[in-house]
């Protein structure tokens, strides 16, 4: 049985004071809920203050990115041990904005995922097709290729430690959500690919859906057999709205 996982991707939003204020409003709204494991990914600058504000709660801290080296001359980059030091349990890798705006490729994403696992941080590996690729009938080709490339170095036996986020690029920040059936179709394909790659262990891997998830659609998405949670951008910035999503509440 896979525990649902709901993660907030705050992207480049929230100052320290705003992150702490979010935690103060949010924690009372979810403290009696065990519907899902809850993860917050603030910008690097708010990891420390948000981590302190979350102390003693079951809400987990995540980073949005990492550089796959332990230390060294990599100006402005953040290493896996630095994220451990801040209390991160998860880290996003390969978000479509990193792929599209910063040219990140699967082999680099694979290095990040492995470097995180080596220090005990769980990577949330993001994949997803553009509208153009969907319309050209290339979903399996694109998502299958991203999975193969991004998971290339993941050792067998670590399947309970990795999370996949399927985020169709055309649904991110656009208000357009894939229908639960459209999402399930791709999640089913991802599950099959994972099974080829990892065998039985693939059943442990949680697959999140991402793309304009909000209180109005979370319950229907979660009804699908291969949707194990959500990666949430816009609707995660407001504590009330994100608490409804995290409680998997139908509204
Ligand atoms: C995201 O950034 O990962 C995301 C899914 O954003 P949104 O929920 O705003 O579409």
Ligand 1 lined by 210 (C-beta under 6 Å) = yes
Could you confirm whether 18 is annotated as catalytic? no
Which residue among 104, 161, 167, 193 is the active-site one? 167
Ligand 1 pocket member 37 (CB < 6 A): no
The rounded Å distance from CA 233 to ligand 1 centre is: 4
Is the distance from the beta carbon of residue 234 to the nearest atom of ligand 1 less than 6 Å?
yes
d(CA 126, CA 240): 25
pTM greater than the 0.75 cutoff? yes
* Residue 108: predicted pLDDT: 98
- pLDDT tens for 74-129 read 999 999 999 999 999 999 999 999 999 999 999 999 999 999 999 999 999 999 99
**26: its two tokens:** 């949010």
Cα 83 to Cα 70: distance, rounded to the nearest angstrom: 11
Three-state DSSP state, 76: coil
Q: Is the CB of 173 within 6 Å of ligand 1? A: yes
Residue 249: band (very low, low, confident or very high) from pLDDT cuts 50, 70, 90? confident
Which atom of ligand 1 lies closest to the CA of 230? 5
Q: Which atom of ligand 1 is nearest to the CA of 213?
A: 8
* Ligand 1 atom at shortest distance from the alpha carbon of 165: 3
Q: Residues 54-64: what's their mean pLDDT?
A: 98
Determine which residue's CA is closest to atom 6 belonging to ligand 1.
233
Can you give the pLDDT at residue 251? 67
Q: Give the side-chain half-sphere CA count within 13 A for 198.
A: 25
User: For the chain, where are the alpha helices, taking DSSP H only?
Assistant: 16-30, 47-54, 80-85, 96-102, 106-118, 131-135, 139-150, 180-198, 218-222, 239-246
b (16+ CB within 10 A) / e for 196-215: ebbeebbeebbbbbbbbbbb
Q: What is the distance between the alpha carbons of residues 39 and 134, in angstroms, rounded to a whole number?
A: 29
| Residue 187 falls in the annotated catalytic set | no
Q: Is the CB of 208 inside a 6 Å radius of any atom of ligand 1?
A: no
C-beta of 178 in contact with ligand 1 (< 6 A): no
Q: Return the residue whose CA atom lies nearest to atom 8 of ligand 1.
A: 233
Work out whether strand 163-166 and strand 88-93 pair parallel, antiparallel, or are unpaired: unpaired
Cα of 21 from ligand 1 centre, angstroms: 21
pLDDT band at 175 (very low <50, low <70, confident <90, very high): confident
């Amino acid at each position: 049985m896979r525990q649902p996982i709901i993660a907030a991707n705050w992207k480049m939003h929230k100052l320290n004071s705003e992150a702490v204020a979010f935690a103060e409003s949010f924690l009372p709204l979810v403290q009696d809920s065990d519907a899902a494991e809850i993860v917050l990914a603030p910008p690097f600058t708010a990891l420390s203050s948000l981590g302190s504000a979350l102390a003693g709660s079951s809400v987990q801290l995540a980073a949005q990115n990492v550089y796959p080296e332990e230390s060294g001359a990599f100006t402005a980059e953040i290493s896996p041990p630095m994220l451990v030091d801040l209390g991160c349990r998860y880290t996003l890798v390969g978000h479509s904005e990193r792929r599209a705006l910063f040219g990140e490729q699967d082999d680099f994403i694979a290095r990040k995922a492995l470097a995180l696992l080596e220090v005990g941080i769980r990577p949330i590996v993001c994949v997803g097709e553009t509208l153009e690729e969907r319309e050209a009938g290339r979903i399996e080709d694109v998502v299958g290729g991203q999975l193969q490339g991004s998971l290339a170095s993941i050792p067998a036996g670590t399947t309970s430690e990795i999370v996949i986020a399927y985020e169709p690029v055309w649904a991110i920040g656009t208000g357009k959500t894939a229908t639960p059936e459209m999402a399930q179709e791709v999640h089913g394909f991802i599950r099959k690919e994972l099974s080829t790659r990892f065998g039985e262990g693939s059943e442990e891997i949680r697959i999140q859906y991402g793309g304009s998830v909000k209180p109005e659609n979370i319950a229907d998405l979660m009804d699908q057999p291969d949707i194990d949670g959500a990666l949430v951008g816009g609707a995660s910035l407001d504590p009330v709205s994100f608490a409804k999503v995290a409680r998997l509440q139908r509204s």
